[in-house]
């Protein structure tokens, strides 16, 4: 193994002896160089115009922060310009970036500590003990925050285990102030391109927003817009295209770095600013915004609890609370009669390859099913059980109990109830609406089906009356607990009374 060359030999005195003669991949592209870390440093400087060592030295970065930087670049696939334009707190400060992306990465074996000449106060008069102390204090603050979050996660796990052991199921709560939505797993799920591809290819979803913005340009012209949960930035670009003076997009997922590239690729970097972070924690460059747009809806409208975040942003930044879009939404129920679906989902467990597995039914029935409902399986009228006006809705309104009444439209068996939602862009010159009803074009939200443990006979003109209660699950506040109570008011006098209640989870 050859030793690290000195400056007089054309090498860098920052390099470690073990990082020279092994294959090493560039941090910005897929190119691999046989000459090791030294060659990659030169390649980055020449081909990507990014001098890694100078970048580290100029910022006085400590050893572990250098390790995080390299792993951050590899993991998030960011560009040199994104790294150089980053401001404190830097996105690579998270301790998750201490985990190597490449095993035995030669770049991680470099000696990032400055040479004696570099650490000599006479040669670096601008670096004093005060600045070093400040850097150390920042690192301590980062570690304290990580420790605090670990304690929160531990408490969440303890609560979940306690709930399951004591009650056999997660606990719901109506105390929204105790809910912690700081879920790294949730945001990580939105880092992958596939979920954004699915949403963008949902033409009903994306076209609804595009049509609303294009048909109401006067709402956006010369306005400051906030895009909550911006994802790939498509809504931000729609707003900029409609004439918005400035658009701020916020997203905690690392997809925001790809969105930055998309914004630059389409020439909107002068009007769109994207920020990575939780809406509840970030600071905007402005005190107030004119409009909030967000595609926050989840299954059964409220799954994932992103509406909580939109409400927070509305109360903190919006000048006029009526300017949050969409500004109205509702949840509806309908009864279903589909023997084939019920048999394949529930009765299936009565005999599986000749074996009885009926104990599995209880678990299957507890989880609501997200699926596309055949409109021909609808056997009743629909009833809107909850409406939200986003200019006034509070977080406490997102847990509710409501009553419904469904008129049966055929003689058949009732096997399930299905929930769906509608949204509207109202109080604008050109109104736009979207529905996820099984009677309309399918969307990626599909419908939420609550299968019955025991189907019951219904006849034309019968009334199915009941209530639906929706709560967040305490141990997992992005999930929902839905309780459906129902009874049959039949016009057939000899029919047996039907009255029941079932609890479901959407998680």
Res. 290: pLDDT tops 60? yes
pLDDT at site 489: 86
Q: Are 251 and 274 in contact, with CB atoms under 8 Å apart?
A: yes
What pLDDT, in 10s, does the model give residues 44-67?
Answer: 999 999 999 999 888 888 888 899
Q: Are 254 and 191 in contact, with CB atoms under 8 Å apart?
A: yes
Q: Which of 9-13, 125-129, 158-162, 285-289 has the highest mean pLDDT?
A: 285-289
Q: Are 128 and 121 in contact, with CB atoms under 8 Å apart?
A: yes
pLDDT at site 11: 42
Q: Are 301 and 400 in contact, with CB atoms under 8 Å apart?
A: no
Residue with tokens 């204090």: 137
Res. 115: pLDDT tops 70? no
Interatomic CA distance for residues 91 and 77, integer angstroms? 13
pLDDT at site 448: 97
DSSP string, 72-130: HHHHHT--HHHHHT--SSPGGGSGGGGS-SSTT-GGGGS--SPPHHHH-TTT-TT--HH
pLDDT at site 193: 62
Q: What is the mean pLDDT of residues 65-81?
A: 91
Helix axes 234-241, 255-265, angle to 10 degrees: 30
Position with higher pLDDT, 141 vs 446: 446
Beta bridge partners of 247: 225, 272
What pLDDT, in 10s, does the model give residues 234-283?
Answer: 999 999 999 999 999 999 988 899 999 999 999 999 999 999 999 999 99
Q: Are 371 and 338 in contact, with CB atoms under 8 Å apart?
A: no
Q: Are 371 and 449 in contact, with CB atoms under 8 Å apart?
A: yes
Interatomic CA distance for residues 25 and 33, integer angstroms? 6
Give the Cβ contact number of residue 478 at 10 Å: 20
- The lowest-confidence range among 136-150, 215-229, 327-341, 406-420 is 136-150
Percent of the chain residues topping a pLDDT of 70: 79
Q: Are 106 and 33 in contact, with CB atoms under 8 Å apart?
A: no
Angle at 282 between CA 470 and CA 101, to 5 degrees: 90
CA nearest neighbour of 380 among 352, 356, 413: 413
Confidence class of residue 140 from pLDDT cuts 50, 70 and 90? low
> How far separated are the first and last CA of the chain, in Å rounded?
55
Res. 179: pLDDT tops 70? no
pLDDT at site 141: 58
CA nearest neighbour of 313 among 266, 281, 352: 281
Position with higher pLDDT, 137 vs 36: 36
Position with higher pLDDT, 40 vs 112: 40
pLDDT at site 108: 87
What's the gap between Cα 223 and its chain centre?
A: 26
CA nearest neighbour of 388 among 297, 474, 504: 297
What's the gap between Cα 320 and its chain centre?
A: 26
DSSP string, 323-392: GEES-EEEEEEEEE--HHHHHHHTGGGG-BTTB--TTHHHHHHHB-EEEPPPGGGEEEEEEEEEEEETTT
Q: Are 412 and 458 in contact, with CB atoms under 8 Å apart?
A: yes
Position with higher pLDDT, 203 vs 156: 203
pLDDT at site 143: 60
Give the Cβ contact number of residue 10 at 10 Å: 9
Interatomic CA distance for residues 418 and 342, integer angstroms? 13
Q: What is the mean pLDDT of residues 115-119?
A: 45
pLDDT at site 166: 39
Interatomic CA distance for residues 181 and 466, integer angstroms? 31
Interatomic CA distance for residues 119 and 493, integer angstroms? 94
What's the gap between Cα 116 and its chain centre?
A: 47
pLDDT at site 237: 97
Helix axes 193-201, 255-265, angle to 10 degrees: 50
pLDDT at site 35: 82
Both tokens assigned to 67: 């390790």
Res. 172: pLDDT tops 50? no
pLDDT at site 70: 93
Question: 3-state DSSP call for residue 422?
Answer: strand
Contacts of 101 (CB under 8 A, 6+ apart): 71, 74, 75
Interatomic CA distance for residues 224 and 228, integer angstroms? 13
Q: Which helix (H) or strand (E) holds 66?
A: helix 63-76
Report the mean per-residue pLDDT for the chain: 84
Interatomic CA distance for residues 491 and 500, integer angstroms? 19
Give the predicted TM-score (pTM) of the model: 0.66
Beta bridge partners of 421: 331
What pLDDT, in 10s, does the model give residues 403-438?
Answer: 999 999 999 999 999 999 999 999 999 999 999 999
Report, as residue numbers or ranges, the catalytic residues. Answer: 295, 304
What's the gap between Cα 330 and its chain centre?
A: 22
CA nearest neighbour of 297 among 204, 179, 164: 204
CA nearest neighbour of 56 among 105, 121, 110: 110
pLDDT at site 168: 45
Q: What is the mean pLDDT of residues 128-150?
A: 60
pLDDT at site 125: 44
């Amino acid at each position: 193994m050859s030793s690290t060359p000195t400056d007089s030999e054309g090498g860098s005195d920052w390099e470690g002896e073990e990082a020279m003669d092994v294959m090493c991949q560039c941090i910005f592209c897929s190119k691999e160089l046989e000459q090791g870390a030294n060659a990659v440093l030169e390649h980055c400087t020449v081909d990507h115009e990014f001098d890694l060592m100078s970048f580290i030295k100029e910022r006085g970065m400590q050893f572990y922060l250098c390790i995080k930087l390299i792993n951050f670049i590899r993991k998030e696939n960011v560009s040199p310009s994104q790294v150089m334009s980053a401001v404190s707190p830097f996105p690579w400060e998270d301790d998750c970036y201490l985990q190597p992306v490449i095993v035995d990465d030669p770049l991680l074996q470099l000696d990032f500590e400055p040479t004696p000449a570099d650490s000599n106060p006479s040669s670096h008069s601008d670096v004093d003990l005060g600045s070093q102390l400040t850097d150390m204090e920042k690192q301590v603050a980062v570690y304290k925050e990580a420790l605090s979050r670990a304690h929160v996660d531990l408490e969440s796990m303890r609560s979940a285990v306690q709930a399951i052991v004591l009650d056999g199921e997660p606990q719901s709560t109506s105390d929204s102030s105790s809910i912690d939505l700081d879920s790294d797993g949730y945001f990580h799920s939105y880092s992958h391109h596939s979920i954004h591809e699915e949403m963008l290819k949902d033409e009903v979803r994306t076209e609804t927003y595009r049509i609303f913005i294009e048909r109401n340009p006067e709402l956006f012209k010369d306005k400051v817009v906030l895009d909550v949960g911006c994802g790939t930035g498509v809504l931000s670009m729609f707003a900029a295209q409609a004439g918005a003076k400035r658009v701020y997009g916020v997203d905690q997922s690392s997809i925001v770095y790809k969105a930055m590239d998309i914004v630059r690729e389409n020439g909107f970097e002068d009007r769109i600013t994207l920020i990575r972070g939780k809406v509840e924690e970030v600071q905007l460059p402005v005190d107030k915004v004119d409009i909030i747009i967000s595609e926050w809806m989840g299954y059964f409208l409220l799954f994932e609890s992103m509406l909580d975040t939109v409400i927070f942003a509305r109360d903190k930044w919006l000048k006029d609370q009526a300017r949050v879009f969409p500004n109205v939404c509702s949840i509806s129920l309908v009864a279903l009669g589909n023997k084939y679906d019920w048999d394949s989902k529930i009765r299936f467990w009565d005999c599986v390859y000749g074996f009885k597995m009926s104990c599995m039914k209880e678990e299957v029935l507890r989880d609501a099913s997200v699926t596309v409902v055949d409109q021909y399986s609808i056997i009743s009228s629909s009833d809107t059980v909850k409406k939200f006006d986003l200019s006034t809705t509070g977080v406490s309104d997102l847990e509710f109990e409501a009553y419904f009444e469904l008129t049966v439209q055929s003689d058949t068996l009732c096997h399930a109830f299905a929930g769906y939602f509608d949204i509207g862009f109202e109080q604008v010159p050109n109104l736009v609406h979207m529905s996820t009803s099984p009677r309309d074009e399918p969307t990626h939200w599909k419908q939420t089906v609550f299968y019955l443990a025991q189907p019951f006979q219904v006849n034309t003109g019968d009334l199915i009356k009941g209530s639906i209660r929706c709560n967040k699950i305490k141990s997992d506040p992005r999930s929902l607990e839905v309780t459906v109570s129902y009874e049959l008011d039949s016009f057939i006098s000899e029919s047996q009374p039907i009255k029941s209640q079932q609890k479901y989870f959407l998680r």
